[in-house]
């Protein structure tokens, strides 16, 4: 499949490696706001950390148009069978893995279509793997091993924007024709300059100098939540503002499935449970079955014809 027409134009090929910085990265620059942090009383210490997080939200808000561009570019590829592939190291990589694994219980998104590549592998999710992020070649190898192609969307995360592992993956993703979305916390970073869609979350210096698990990480988490959730809404995983394509994998989610069905249809609990039991707790199917007063087979057929859109299935329209 050729890249979507909504994708940003290709830029020059990804940089082979990060160039030495002429000046310290903003994320590494010591904060001038709290030079005596170690002497703060506990309430003041907590206030300093909490207050600083507002900068994370402001950084994401400033990048909202780039996030929207990423969503628009990603949806056609994902709808055509592509995958979301997250790549990162350290905190950034763990945030990518977290976003990937939460898509299945939240949206019934297939596990094999949301992949997290973390420098250092599985072990690095739980403890630091020293030096793993420094290998440009390993980034290439891991990305190529995932068999990425032109339908896939590769989200490359690096607070510095210059992590060699991520840049290696970027180079391989571009060569494979995948859509590349670069997310960094420093302006004009190699990962954003090399990606088709650049998202800069300019969070500046940290309360604890260089600790980008703080507001840089918060900004990345907000951006990922926004990006993947917006994609899922566009893929008909949400009806109104209800999470109607969840996987009820535990007692809490079973209760949530019942509650969502009741809220969407106005049905009582017994009727909601009966409809859900008949369709193996597929909330979408239960909603259409109740509101259109058809059996679950007919409800599923309506949803299939509407490409999974509950609204279109109820209105008898093509989405």
Q: Give the closest residue to 88 by CA, choosing from 37, 164, 7.
A: 164
Q: Give the closest residue to 164 by CA, choosing from 142, 145, 197, 148.
A: 142
Which residues are known to be catalytic?
Answer: 102, 133
Cα separation, 265 vs 286, whole angstroms: 9
Asked whether 286 and 292 are in contact (CB, 8 A), the reply is: no
Q: Give the closest residue to 249 by CA, choosing from 57, 52, 99, 106.
A: 106
Question: Measured between alpha carbons, how far is residue 187 from residues 158, 168, 202, 299 in Å?
Answer: 12, 20, 7, 49
- DSSP alpha helices (H): ranges in the chain? 42-62, 64-79, 90-107, 136-145, 164-176, 190-194, 215-234, 251-265, 269-278, 283-292, 296-305, 310-315
Q: Torsion-angle region of residue 46: left (phi > 0), alpha (psi -120 to 50) or beta?
A: alpha
Residue 72, helix vs strand vs coil: helix
Q: Cβ contacts of residue 64 below 8 Å, gap of 6+?
A: 226
Structure tokens at 286: 């239960």
Q: Give the closest residue to 173 by CA, choosing from 117, 110, 123, 103.
A: 117
Residue 197, helix vs strand vs coil: strand
Cα separation, 236 vs 250, whole angstroms: 23
Q: 215-234 vs 64-79: helix axis angle to the nearest 10?
A: 40
- How are strands ordered across the β-sheet holding 84-88? 114-118, 84-88, 153-158, 179-184, 197-200
């Amino acid at each position: 499949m050729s890249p979507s027409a909504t994708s940003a134009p290709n830029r020059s090929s990804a940089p082979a490696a990060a160039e030495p910085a002429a000046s310290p990265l903003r994320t590494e620059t010591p904060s001038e706001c709290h030079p005596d942090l170690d002497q703060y009383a506990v309430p003041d210490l907590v206030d300093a950390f909490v207050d600083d997080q507002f900068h994370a939200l402001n950084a994401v808000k400033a990048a909202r148009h780039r996030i929207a561009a990423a969503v628009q570019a990603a949806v056609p590829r994902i709808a055509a069978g592509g995958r979301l592939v997250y790549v990162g190291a350290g905190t950034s990589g763990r945030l990518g893995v977290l976003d990937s694994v939460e898509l299945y219980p939240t949206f019934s998104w297939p596990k094999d279509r949301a992949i997290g590549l973390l420098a250092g592998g599985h072990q690095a999710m739980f403890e630091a793997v020293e030096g793993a992020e420094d290998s440009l070649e390993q980034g290439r190898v891991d990305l190529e091993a995932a068999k990425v192609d032109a339908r896939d969307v590769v989200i490359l995360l690096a607070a510095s924007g210059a992590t060699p592992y991520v840049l290696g993956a970027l180079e391989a993703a571009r060569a494979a024709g995948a859509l590349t979305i670069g997310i960094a916390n420093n302006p004009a970073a190699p990962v954003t300059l090399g990606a088709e869609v650049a998202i800069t979350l300019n969070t500046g210096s940290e309360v604890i100098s260089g600790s980008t698990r703080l507001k840089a990480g918060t900004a990345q988490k907000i951006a990922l939540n926004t990006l993947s959730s917006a994609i899922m809404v566009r893929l008909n995983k949400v009806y109104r503002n209800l999470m109607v394509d969840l996987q009820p994998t535990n007692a809490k989610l079973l209760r949530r499935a019942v509650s969502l069905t009741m809220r969407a249809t106005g049905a009582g609990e017994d009727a909601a449970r009966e409809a859900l039991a008949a369709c193996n707790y597929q909330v979408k199917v239960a909603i259409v079955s109740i509101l259109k007063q058809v059996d679950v087979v007919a409800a599923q057929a309506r949803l299939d014809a509407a490409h999974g859109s509950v609204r279109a299935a109820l209105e008898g329209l093509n989405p």
